[in-house]
Structure 1
Amino acid sequence: MCAPDRGSRGDLSVVGGGAVGLTCALAAVDSGWRVRVYDAGPTTRAAHVAGGMLGCFAEGHPGEDRLLAISRDSVARWPALIERLGDPTIATAADSLLIGATAADMEHLRAQVRFLLSEEPDDADRLPAVTPADLRAAEPALVRGIAGGFRAIGEGSVDNRKLIAGLQRALDAAGAARIDAHVDDLADVPGDQVLVAAGLGTRTLLPGVELRGEKGEILRLRRTRFSVPPPAHVIRARWHGRPAYLVPREDGIVLGATQYEAYDAADRAPLAGGVSDLLADAGEMMPSLRTYELAEVSAGIRPSSPDGVPIVERVDERVVVAAGHGRNGIALSPWTAHIVTELLSPDTASSTHQRSRSLTWN
C-alpha cells in the first residue's frame, strides 16, 4: 500500500476508528478521497484487545475455505502496509510455531494442515513439520516433552496498539480529519460516501447486518529483569485440547485466546476461569513466563458474521459496510481496504463484491 498521487474523488466519512476503519480510511486517502474518521474511542475497538496475529495457515480450518482464501490475500498485502506506515517496529514476528502438547493435540494440528494443503498444495514448503528438538532449538524457553508441531513461515504478527497509532499518524500526515465522536444515525454523517466499520455498533446503524459478539480475554505479560526474553516467534498451541497463543511484544507477550458467546455487547469484564486457564497453559508451555509481570487483564468483544466471512459490500448508493471480521479483524484489514476502495470507485459495479447470500436492508 503506497501513497499515490491524490486526485479528488469526493468526501468520504468513515464511521469506526479501529484497525479495519483506519486501514480503509488510509487506502481511500491514498486513492484520492477527502476523508474524515469518526472514532468512538479505544474501548469500542476490538483491535485494542487483540493479539495482532496475521492469520493465514494458523487460522485455516475445514469448512472455512472462503475465509482461508481471503486470509491468504490479506497476509500478502501486509508488507506493503507496514512500508506505507513507515514503522517496521509495528511487526513483532515473522513466523509462527504451531505446537501440540500431546499426541491427540498433534492429530488435531495434522488434520488442520491436511486441510490447508488440500486447498493449496504449493504451501507445503511454508508449513514444514518440526520435531520437539527443532521447537526447542527455535524457542529454548519451551517446556520439554512437547509432542511436535509445524512452522508457519511468513505467518507473523503486529503490535495492535502500535498499528492503530501508526495508522492515525499516517492519516494525520495525509490531511484526513479524525473526529472523536460516537455516531448514532447515519443521516447525521456528512459526505458523498459513508463507510460503516463500527464493529458491533454496525448492527445499530445498519439493522440489516447480522452480527454476533464473541467475547475473549487477553492478558499482557511484561518482562522483568529476572526474565528470559520474549519468544521470537508467535506460538500457536493446541494445549491439552485448548487453543492458546503467545504473541511477542517488545517488552513481553500478549496471551490468549478464550472465546465464547457475548450476550451483552457492553460486557467486557474478564472472567476468572478464562484468565486462570490462560495463565496455567502459558506457564506449562513456557515455564519462564512465571517470572513475567501480569501487566494487563482485558476482555474484548469481536464482531462476527454468522458464517465467519466478513461482510464487505455496498449497501446503497451512498453507504458501504465493512464488518463481521471476528477474530481476524487486524489480519484482514489490508484485504478489506482493497475491496472497499474498489467498491468506492465509480467505475466498479456495486455487485462485484457482493457476498453469496442476499441481505435485506432496513
Structure 2
Amino acid sequence: MSDYLIVGGGVIGLLTAHELAKTGASVTLVEMSATGRQSSWAGGGILQPLYPWHHPGAVNTLALWSQAYYPELMLELLEATGIDPEYRASGLMILDAEERDLALAWGERHQVPVELLDRTQVAAAEPNLGLRLDNALWMPDVAQVRNPRLMRSLRAALDKRVRIREHEEVMDLRVEQGRVIGVRTTSEQLAAERVVVCAGAWTAQLLERLGAVPKIRPVRGQIMLFFAKPDQIRQLTLYREHYIIPRQDGRVLIGSTHAEDAGFSKTTTSQAKEDLYRFAVELYPLLKRAPIEDHWAGLRPGSPKGVPYIGAYPGVENLFVNAGHFSNGLVTGPASARLISDLMLGRPPIVPPESYALETPRE
C-alpha cells in the first residue's frame, strides 16, 4: 500500500509527486500513456498567463508564487538529473496597443515590472519584426522553459523516489464507507491511504461516478514549429492572443489556436495550420524562408474562468483533486503542487485555498 497515489503524470501530477516525495512518504503515480506527453508536452513553455490582467486573481496568485519559485526548482532539477529544462528569463514583448493601460496598471498593482518601449526601442529589440509600431509593452522578468526537457528532468528526478506506472489507465476510484482506499487500473487494484486526481482534461470522466463533478473539459490547442536559425527572432512575442517563442537552437514555436471544442480529438487541422502560418509570416516575414518542422495539437483542461480545482473531494475522505489549469498548468504548477500537498499533509497553506475548492462556484 502506498501513502499517496497520484492519478496522472503530466506536469501537475509530476510536481505533486515531487512535493509529496520530499516528506519521505511512499508515492505511486499512475499514467495512462507516458509521463509528460499530453498538454504538458504540447504547450509553449511561457511562465506567465497570457495577458495576466485578464485572468482572475486566483490564477495570478498561483502564477506569481510559482514564478518566484521557478529559479530554485530549475536549479534543483538540473543538479539532480543533469537535464537542463532550458529555463530562461527572456522577457516578453506585447504588441497589442489596446492592452497598454491595463498592463501598466496591473504591473503597478502587483509590483511586476511592465515597461513601455518606443518605436526606436522596439526596432532595436526585434529588428526583424514585420510590423512598424509606435510602442510596445515589455515585461523583462517573464521566463520560459522547454516543455519536453522539463518533463524529462522532472521524470528523472522522480525515478528513484516515486513508483511510476506508465501505460496503465485508472478505470475506477475504489471507495468504501465514504473513504477512498485506492484505484482499479487496467492491470490490477492498487491500495493507497490517500489519492489525488491530477488527470487534466480526463479528470471529470474519472470522478463523474462519485457524484460531484468538476467542470473540466478538453479544449484543443494547436502549435506550429519552424526550423529557423539562432538569433533570427530574439524576443518572446505576444500579439492578438498568439505567441511566438524563439528557442536557443533557433527553432520558433507559433501558437496557439483559440479554444477548440473538439472533444478528446488531438487531430490537427489544415485551417489551423494556415491561420498560424499567416500570423507567423505577418509578424516575422523572414519565416517565409524557414521550413515548417512540425504541427501538433494538445488538450488543455478547460475550467470556468481558468481557475483550477485544488483541494479535497467533497463527501469522500482522503480523496483530493488538483486539475483544471487550462493553459496555465506550467506557470501555476509549482504553487498548485505545494498547495495540494499542504492540504493533504495538514500544513498551513501557501495561499488561501478557498478559491480553488470544488464547492466554490466558478460561473
TM-score normalised to structure 1 length: 0.84
1:328 counterpart = 2:328? yes
1:53 counterpart = 2:43? no
2:281 is matched with which residue? 283
The Cα offsets for residues 268-311 of structure 1, whole Å up to 9 and x where unpaired, read as: 11222222121111112112222322111111111121121111
1:314 is matched with which residue? 312
Alignment equivalent of 1:77, drawn from 69, 74, 85 = 69
- Secondary structure of 1:220 counterpart: strand
The Cα offsets for residues 237-260 of structure 1, whole Å up to 9 and x where unpaired, read as: 2xxxx3221112233122102122
Alignment equivalent of 1:163, drawn from 144, 150, 162 = 150
Alignment equivalent of 2:217, drawn from 212, 216, 236 = 212
Give the residue type in structure 1 aligned to 2:259.
Answer: Y
1:178 counterpart = 2:164? yes
2:204–2:217 CA contact under 8 A, matched in 1? no
1:311–1:322 CA contact under 8 A, matched in 2? yes
Instruction: Count matched residues.
Output: 333
Q: CA deviation at 1:132?
A: 2.7
1:3 is matched with which residue? none
Q: CA deviation at 1:146?
A: 2.9
CA distance in 2, matches of 1:214, 1:166: 26
- Secondary structure of 2:219 counterpart: strand
Give the residue type in structure 2 aligned to 1:119.
Answer: R
| Distance change >3 Å, CA 131–CA 97, structure 1 → 2 | farther
1:40 is matched with which residue? 32
Give 1:288-307 correspondences, 5 Å limit.
288-307=286-305
CA distance in 1, matches of 2:171, 2:8: 12
1:93–1:234 CA contact under 8 A, matched in 2? no
- Secondary structure of 2:268 counterpart: coil
1:97–1:149 CA contact under 8 A, matched in 2? no
When the two chains are superposed, the root-mean-square deviation of aligned CA atoms in Å is 2.5
| Distance change >3 Å, CA 88–CA 248, structure 1 → 2 | farther
Give the residue type in structure 2 aligned to 1:231.
Answer: I
Q: CA deviation at 1:172?
A: 0.8
CA distance in 2, matches of 1:195, 1:334: 16
Gaps of 5+ in 2: 175-183, 185-189
Q: CA deviation at 1:147?
A: 3.8
| Distance change >3 Å, CA 59–CA 29, structure 1 → 2 | farther
Give the residue type in structure 1 aligned to 2:320.
Answer: V
Q: CA deviation at 1:344?
A: 1.7
2:59–2:332 CA contact under 8 A, matched in 1? no
1:222 counterpart = 2:227? yes
1:130 counterpart = 2:117? yes
1:197 counterpart = 2:202? no
Q: CA deviation at 1:212?
A: 2.2
Q: CA deviation at 1:200?
A: 1.4
2:178 is matched with which residue? none
1:218–1:297 CA contact under 8 A, matched in 2? yes
- Secondary structure of 1:78 counterpart: helix
Query: More deviation in 145-154 or 22-31?
Result: 145-154
Q: CA deviation at 1:139?
A: 2.5
TM-score normalised to structure 2 length: 0.84
1:93–1:232 CA contact under 8 A, matched in 2? no
| Distance change >3 Å, CA 352–CA 116, structure 1 → 2 | closer
Give the residue type in structure 2 aligned to 1:262.
Answer: D
1:52–1:330 CA contact under 8 A, matched in 2? yes
1:264 counterpart = 2:251? no
2:92 is matched with which residue? 97
Gaps of 5+ in 1: 1-9
Q: CA deviation at 1:23?
A: 0.9
- Secondary structure of 1:149 counterpart: strand
CA distance in 2, matches of 1:63, 1:330: 15
Q: CA deviation at 1:148?
A: 2.3
1:92–1:249 CA contact under 8 A, matched in 2? no
Query: More deviation in 163-172 or 87-96?
Result: 87-96
Query: More deviation in 158-167 or 272-281?
Result: 272-281
2:177 is matched with which residue? none
Q: CA deviation at 1:67?
A: 1.7
1:65–1:119 CA contact under 8 A, matched in 2? no
2:8–2:200 CA contact under 8 A, matched in 1? yes
The Cα offsets for residues 183-220 of structure 1, whole Å up to 9 and x where unpaired, read as: 11122242111111001111011122111222211112
Query: More deviation in 144-153 or 86-95?
Result: 86-95
Q: CA deviation at 1:127?
A: 0.7
| Distance change >3 Å, CA 221–CA 357, structure 1 → 2 | same
Give the residue type in structure 2 aligned to 1:220.
Answer: L
| Distance change >3 Å, CA 206–CA 222, structure 1 → 2 | same
| Distance change >3 Å, CA 149–CA 222, structure 1 → 2 | same
Query: More deviation in 280-289 or 62-71?
Result: 62-71
1:313–1:355 CA contact under 8 A, matched in 2? no
1:209–1:359 CA contact under 8 A, matched in 2? no
- Secondary structure of 2:137 counterpart: strand
